[in-house]
Chains A and B, each alone.
Chain A
Amino acid sequence: MVSDLPWPIEKIPNKDFLFQRVHKNLIIQGSLAISMVFRNHGEGMSTDWSKYSTPQKTKNSVVKYSVYKDPNNYGVIKMKVKDVRNIEGQIVEHTPIKENRAHTDVNGEKNEKAKVLFSRIYDWSIKPPIPLNED
């Protein structure tokens, strides 16, 4: 039986990274609005696997989801897959879509504990522009 998926699903090694876009408005007084960043959209939290993406590609790919979204309004954070899997209840799964071979979901409830633990494991790859109301 031929799979409908354009790309095969692969196992993601712990040593690799995940990239995630962050809108500039989610930086408040220099702090990340962690509940807005580390949350599920549907089943999981969307990210890109470093094997098939780069921070710049992840930033630019926002237009694939909506022509109204401007890549210049976004930054990109990265997280080590191993650190994500160490957060209780989080499952990293490669879920490629036609437009994005790198697409990966981080499934699992994003409760207050998970958000605090996520806040400890990310680094900026590309910082977003500073919002107009921030100095």
Chain B
Amino acid sequence: MPEVIPREKLTPSNYYKKSRPFSDYTGTTPKKETAWEDTGSFAEHLHLIAKKPKTRKISLTDAFSIELPTFFHELENQIETSKTLLELSDNWDDEGSPGYKEETFFQAVEFLTKYAVWIWDEKSTLIEIPKILPAQNGSIDLFWKKEQYDLLINIPPYPNSIAKFYGDDNNETKIEGEFPLKSYNQGIFLCLLNGE
């Protein structure tokens, strides 16, 4: 039986053997027949490998985990650090404020990581890392307080899913409003977060 070469193990030499299994196209005589899945064009395959980065699974709680590209070190560190939010119990501020649900924390982190990955895919840019902060009534803030802009996104307590935001560049650019966490125009925050 011909050896099946999976897509991720294709190399330039064994790829070309697909179309000319018995030829000396690459200057060598193949020692055995090879067969593999239909991979499309080699250029398309290279593009797929380059575009899809390796990811690492990050456990947020026993019930929730996310996947992040392995080179998102800073974001991963911030998420790990912010898990302490879940240790805040009711009345943690001496003013009767409630603690934070795992589902709310996951909502916040899921939004942030998906957005960071989207900006990477679209603009090849790593977004600056926000602080992940406790907010009132069990909601969670993502707060970018940066030299060139401030942006606050309040993630509502689960099961609510309408987030509110305000941001400006201390000059003429301002954005303000609300959006559903499940589906929104991802371009909303580009004017501040794309690093340009």
Known: A112-B152, A113-B166, A116-B152. A73 touches B134 (CB 8 A): no
Dominant secondary structure of chain B at its interface with chain A:
strand
A130 at the B interface (CB under 8 A): no
Q: Which residues in chain B, 159-186, are within 8 Å of chain A measured between CB atoms? A: 164-168, 176
Q: Chain A residues with Cβ under 8 A from B168's Cβ?
A: 116
**Stretch from B9-17, B31-39, B61-69, B88-96 that touches the partner:** B88-96
Q: How far is the CA of A133 from the CA of B168 in the complex (A)?
A: 32
CB-based contact B134/A33 at 8 Å: yes
Q: Chain A residues with Cβ under 8 A from B84's Cβ?
A: 133
B135 at the A interface (CB under 8 A): yes
CB-based contact A34/B136 at 8 Å: no
Q: How far is the CA of A29 from the CA of B84 in the complex (A)?
A: 10
B193: min CB distance to chain A, Å: 15
Q: Which residues in chain B, 110-147, are within 8 Å of chain A measured between CB atoms? A: 131, 133-136, 139, 141, 143, 145
CB-based contact B145/A31 at 8 Å: yes
Q: How far is the CA of A116 from the CA of B92 in the complex (A)?
A: 23
CB-based contact A31/B133 at 8 Å: yes
CB-based contact B167/A34 at 8 Å: no
B61: min CB distance to chain A, Å: 18
Known: A69-B94, A120-B150. A112 touches B166 (CB 8 A): yes
CB-based contact A29/B131 at 8 Å: yes
CB-based contact B92/A34 at 8 Å: no
CB-based contact B134/A36 at 8 Å: yes
A127 at the B interface (CB under 8 A): no
CB-based contact B166/A35 at 8 Å: no
Pick from A31, A66, A116, A133: contact of B150, CB under 8 Å: A116
Q: Chain B residues with Cβ under 8 A from A60's Cβ?
A: none
**Stretch from A2-10, A20-28, A76-84, A98-106 that touches the partner:** A20-28
Query: Closest A-chain residue to B163, C-beta based?
Result: A112
Q: Which residues in chain A, 79-131, are within 8 Å of chain B measured between CB atoms? A: 111-113, 115-116, 119-120
Q: Looking at A31, A73, A115, A116, which has the most chain B CB atoms within 10 Å of its CB?
A: A116
Pick from B139, B145, B176: contact of A35, CB under 8 Å: B139
Q: Chain A residues with Cβ under 8 A from B92's Cβ?
A: 25
Q: Which residues in chain A, 48-89, are within 8 Å of chain B measured between CB atoms? A: 66, 68-69, 73
Q: Which residues from chain A sit less than 8 Å from chain B, CB to CB?
A: 23, 25-26, 28-29, 31, 33-36, 39, 41, 66, 68-69, 73, 111-113, 115-116, 119-120, 133
| Across the A-B interface, the 4 shortest Cβ-Cβ residue pairs | A35-B135, A112-B166, A113-B166, A33-B133
Q: Which residues from chain B sit less than 8 Å from chain A, CB to CB?
A: 81, 84, 87-88, 92-95, 97, 131, 133-136, 139, 141, 143, 145, 150-154, 164-168, 176
